Structure 1
Amino acid sequence: MNYYRKDREENPVITSIEMDSRKVTPGSLFVCIKGQSFDGHRFVEDVIEKGAVAIVAEVPVDSSVPVIYVSDTRRTLALLSDAFFGQPSHQLHLIGVTGTNGKTTVTQLIQHIQQETGKSSGVIGTIGIHFNNTEIPVSNTTPESVDLQRVFRQMVDAGVETCAMEVSSHALDQGRVRGLDFNIGVFTNLTQDHLDYHHTMENYLHAKSLLFSQLGNTYQLDSMKLAIFNEDDEASKFLKRVTSAEVLTYGIDQAADFQARHISITGQGTSFEWVTPDAVYPVHMKLIGKFSVYNVLAAGLACYASGLSMHDIIKAVEGMKGVPGRFEPVVGGQPFAVIVDYSHTPDSLENALKAIHAFVKGKIITVVGCGGDRDRKKRPIMANKSIELSNYSIFTSDNPRTEDPVKIIEEMVEGLPEEADYEVIVDRRMAINQAISLATDEDVVLIAGKGHETYQIIGTDILAFDDRQVAMEAIKERF
């Protein structure tokens, strides 16, 4: 742990480990974390008043309770949490899913397949933590190490056997998943996102690679670690080189262990042949689009590698209706389709629009924006994708956060061709209303970017806002 010093020999009883000063209770060990917008070292006096009995810090602090000084409090937090909660990840079949797009759908599919085959399963990711009858909201796609270990302990105590979790590049880079005993790591794809944080695609790929480089370095026949890669994604070549785990692959265009061929997409679902080393299986599922096929292949291979049969996997997949905010239809009796999707990267927006192209008979009207305080380089790319693949685009606010929403949209539309057919409506509710009012029979309205989110962040305010609800209100008002 690389102690600098322990300033006294007291040995208090620790009842909880916390890094958030607001959660400290009598008996807590408080670990001071330096974040992007806060520094836990500044709250030592406050947490002691709340009952903290010991502090872990990187720099000298004034304290009336014992302080342990270490070189890296995040690393120490992961180590302490793993020990404090009794190493619960070792008692779960833990599947980590990383990549730019598809993480939420793949983890939700894994949980659905596991549950349909009678296994108790949990999921951790963008739309929350779910296991048995427990639901816990999250502020990050991948929670902090202490929160993860606490949840894993709850899962183990509740009899959960398998947990599928999204593993973000931020979490990998910041060490939030250090010490977790992943059985399987899954890679979906790598496209542009989060360059505000990683700065380069090389750094972004390196962060993703940490899941696989940390996926065990010994060959244990009774507990073999597996790495599952998308053979159609160029980044998989690099990721295969950094892992010692056994490698399995899936894909569509390239030969792979699990491959889809003869894909047929309609407005009601997708059919394809699922090719495995042993047999070829027909699949007819409600999920729509080529990207959905990739997600199903990834989740199916993870479940197959976990011991489930192809028959059970396909049966569960064919019964899956969808994932909240992922290509989710809004149906209010209107004669055109309205779809809400979390596509907030150029690649995911392109995938959603191409999926619509496979069945649309009328026009495609797209409502899309870009988040503030995030990767600015993708803004014009998002706008160009919308113009290229839609008949009409409405550029609006996403979560502007502390940026001027007008400036964000100006960066999106800068450089668009003169003939581009679009309008700018900064207010997102008005933009959605306009799209609904313009749509006619057999058109498709795509409302992109926020998906499952039930809020909009403007400045530092978090306001109630749900694209699905707003769209339904607009439909009901019109019809």
Structure 2
Amino acid sequence: MDLKELLKGVHVLHIDGRQELEIKGIAYDSRQAGEGFVFVCISGSKTDGHLFIEDVIAKGIKAIVVEKEVKDQEGITFIRVEDSRKALSAIAANFYGHPSKYMNVIGVTGTNGKTTTTHLIKHILEVNGVQSGLIGTISYKILDQEYKANNTTPESLELQRLFQEMLDREVNTCVMEVSSHSLDLHRVEDIQYRIGVFTNITQDHLDFHGTMENYKNAKRKLFYKTTQANIINVDDEFGLELSRQLSKLDAKCITYGIKGPAEIYGKDIEITAKGTRFQLVTPKFSGVINIGTPGMFSVYNALAAAAVGYVTGYGYLEIKKGLEETRVVPGRFELVPNDKDLTVIVDYSHTPDSIENAIKTIREFAKGRIITVFGCGGDRDKTKRPIMGEIAGRLSDYCIITSDNPRTEKPEDIIKDAEVGIKRTSCKYKMIVDRKEGIREAIRQSGPKDVILIAGKGHETYQIIGNRVIDFDDRKIAQELIREDLQDEVDN
């Protein structure tokens, strides 16, 4: 593609060098740069693309996008822009021909529930004959092709490439999680969304956004980009505010909820250890839905997905089939099979609201004690640690505070931050730095009627300690420890 075509829609401050260049590809990571590419210098939190200009020139790059003053070099075209992340988004969309314009892109944002909701939506579509792609926390999927997810929402270049691959494979619908980071960092700037879904908002990512207001404003951006409808949870205070704002702008809104007036709502809710049953009510039809995951949060996720089905034009039976046949989403209130008949649940709950929802759900069916194993992420929002500790202590009978992904922080310091909150409660607890040993302690403490919740990591198959990434899957570790415990009983 010609450089001039590539720069359409980019806010260029000035260009030094030849503009008559043929561009073969785009890179923002110097390791991916190649001859004939344009290199976009991103100023990130850990490194700065401007530091690698000499490296990419040595690789044969002739066009470089910068947002800082750099020295002119003979034979190199420098394109100065105000914001290189915005520029990368526009350049990527231009290079791949704006694929989202020819697709039905459904974006789901919110603190909790994004992953499950996207999977439910995808299954509703697929049982009704619509092949759809999926972009989210667990992985990126296109038909039988699955890619490892590095971010909940990838960088703009990867997004546009994924959309183009979907179109090439005749997949014209994509359901995707849209993170607040991606909205603030312009990763989704040049995507055309048909439907936007808002699940909820609670404290998270304040290490990045600074304040809850900034966090809300990031989420808000998605709903000014949709072309067909916005689906909003109005039981959430911010969701209610958002729906009112959008209505004033004549943006189409479909509201859902349980507690207050909403166009799509659930009633007559019954929660058991095996799942949840409720009455789905829409303006056109109603009927009973049975889902395999217990909990009120499961109803909210199902209502969000049902609302997408409703907007898309499906009836009760079509939505019911999609919801009821969806398999358990990995690491989302996932029951761990074992030979000891212990009830062990692994859940991705890593925010105050999500851990509260998980434990309250267990309280609905637990006949014995609730034993909660949890930790908090390092190099992330520190203010939520005592809040999570207090919630876990208030709602559980016994807690083990352990490591999550400590990253570059000392695990002991993170655990002490969470202990501040649990001390405000009467809950008995232990602090065990080694996560495997923490899970082992929970299994040792448990009886036949107790429920163990292993919270925080869910589907993750790794643990980040310092700069090392080690293999660690809560589900496999729990199964391994239960087998060892059984063997010990046999040996004794």
**TM surpasses 0.5:** yes
What is the one-letter code of the residue matched to 2:223?
Answer: F
Question: Is the CA contact (8 Å cut-off) linking 2:285 and 2:316 kept in structure 1?
Answer: no
The residue number in structure 2 matching 1:66 is 77
Instruction: Please point out which of 319, 323, 333 is paired with 1:327.
Output: 333
Question: Is the CA contact (8 Å cut-off) linking 1:99 and 1:190 kept in structure 2?
Answer: yes
Q: In 2, Cα distance between the equivalents of 1:200 and 1:28? A: 38
Q: In 1, Cα distance between the equivalents of 2:430 and 2:165? A: 49
Q: In 2, Cα distance between the equivalents of 1:115 and 1:168? A: 24
Q: In 2, Cα distance between the equivalents of 1:186 and 1:32? A: 32
What is the one-letter code of the residue matched to 1:15?
Answer: K
The residue number in structure 1 matching 2:229 is 226
Of 241-250 and 445-454, more deviation after overlay is shown by: 241-250
Instruction: Please point out which of 282, 301, 305 is paired with 2:288.
Output: 282
Deviation of the 1:241 alpha carbon: 4.3
2:460 is equivalent to residue 453 of structure 1: yes
The residue number in structure 1 matching 2:128 is 117
Question: Is the CA contact (8 Å cut-off) linking 1:32 and 1:56 kept in structure 2?
Answer: yes
2:217 is equivalent to residue 206 of structure 1: yes
Deviation of the 1:74 alpha carbon: 1.0
2:417 is equivalent to residue 406 of structure 1: no
The residue number in structure 1 matching 2:57 is 48
Of 67-76 and 392-401, more deviation after overlay is shown by: 67-76
Instruction: Please point out which of 288, 293, 296 is paired with 2:299.
Output: 293
SS at match of 1:414: helix
SS at match of 1:151: helix
The residue number in structure 1 matching 2:388 is 382
Deviation of the 1:262 alpha carbon: 0.7
The residue number in structure 1 matching 2:108 is 97
Return 5+ residue gaps in structure 2 as ranges: 1-9, 487-492
Deviation of the 1:44 alpha carbon: 1.0
Q: In 1, Cα distance between the equivalents of 2:283 and 2:484? A: 53
Deviation of the 1:451 alpha carbon: 0.3
What is the one-letter code of the residue matched to 2:65?
Answer: V
Taking only aligned residues, the RMSD between alpha carbons, in angstroms, comes to 1.3
Matches within 5 A, 1:161-200: 161-200=172-211
Question: Is the CA contact (8 Å cut-off) linking 2:396 and 2:427 kept in structure 1?
Answer: no
What is the one-letter code of the residue matched to 2:281?
Answer: V
Q: In 2, Cα distance between the equivalents of 1:38 and 1:396? A: 30
Of 239-248 and 150-159, more deviation after overlay is shown by: 239-248
Return 5+ residue gaps in structure 1 as ranges: 216-223
Spell out, residue by residue over 1:178-227, the C-alpha distance to the aligned partner (whole angstroms, 9 max, x if none). 01100001000011111111121111111110111233xxxxxxxx5211
Q: In 1, Cα distance between the equivalents of 2:432 and 2:457? A: 16
Deviation of the 1:129 alpha carbon: 0.3
SS at match of 1:225: strand
Q: In 2, Cα distance between the equivalents of 1:51 and 1:112? A: 45
TM-score (norm 2): 0.93
2:176 is equivalent to residue 157 of structure 1: no
SS at match of 1:358: helix
Q: In 1, Cα distance between the equivalents of 2:11 and 2:327? A: 50
Matches within 5 A, 1:310-349: 310-349=316-355
The residue number in structure 2 matching 1:4 is 13
Q: 1:275 to 1:45 in 2, by over 3 A?
A: same
Matches within 5 A, 1:9-28: 9-28=18-37
Question: Is the CA contact (8 Å cut-off) linking 1:287 and 1:321 kept in structure 2?
Answer: no
SS at match of 1:44: helix
Q: 1:427 to 1:282 in 2, by over 3 A?
A: same
Question: Is the CA contact (8 Å cut-off) linking 2:192 and 2:225 kept in structure 1?
Answer: no
Q: 1:454 to 1:99 in 2, by over 3 A?
A: same
Q: In 2, Cα distance between the equivalents of 1:339 and 1:372? A: 23
2:399 is equivalent to residue 393 of structure 1: yes
Deviation of the 1:161 alpha carbon: 2.5
Instruction: Please point out which of 447, 450, 468 is paired with 1:443.
Output: 450
Q: 1:241 to 1:31 in 2, by over 3 A?
A: farther
Of 233-242 and 79-88, more deviation after overlay is shown by: 233-242
Of 396-405 and 64-73, more deviation after overlay is shown by: 64-73
Deviation of the 1:421 alpha carbon: 0.6
2:465 is equivalent to residue 467 of structure 1: no
Instruction: Please point out which of 293, 311, 318 is paired with 1:305.
Output: 311
The residue number in structure 1 matching 2:5 is none
Question: Is the CA contact (8 Å cut-off) linking 1:213 and 1:242 kept in structure 2?
Answer: no
Question: Is the CA contact (8 Å cut-off) linking 1:287 and 1:320 kept in structure 2?
Answer: no
Question: Is the CA contact (8 Å cut-off) linking 2:12 and 2:79 kept in structure 1?
Answer: yes
TM-score (norm 1): 0.96
2:92 is equivalent to residue 81 of structure 1: yes
The residue number in structure 2 matching 1:35 is 44
Deviation of the 1:420 alpha carbon: 2.5
Spell out, residue by residue over 1:25-47, the C-alpha distance to the aligned partner (whole angstroms, 9 max, x if none). 22211111111111111111111
Spell out, residue by residue over 1:53-95, the C-alpha distance to the aligned partner (whole angstroms, 9 max, x if none). 3111112334442111111111111111111101101111000
Q: In 2, Cα distance between the equivalents of 1:379 and 1:170? A: 21
Q: In 2, Cα distance between the equivalents of 1:278 and 1:226? A: 17
Q: 1:418 to 1:59 in 2, by over 3 A?
A: closer
Question: Is the CA contact (8 Å cut-off) linking 2:394 and 2:426 kept in structure 1?
Answer: no
Instruction: Please point out which of 345, 354, 361 is paired with 2:360.
Output: 354
Identity %: 49
2:373 is equivalent to residue 367 of structure 1: yes
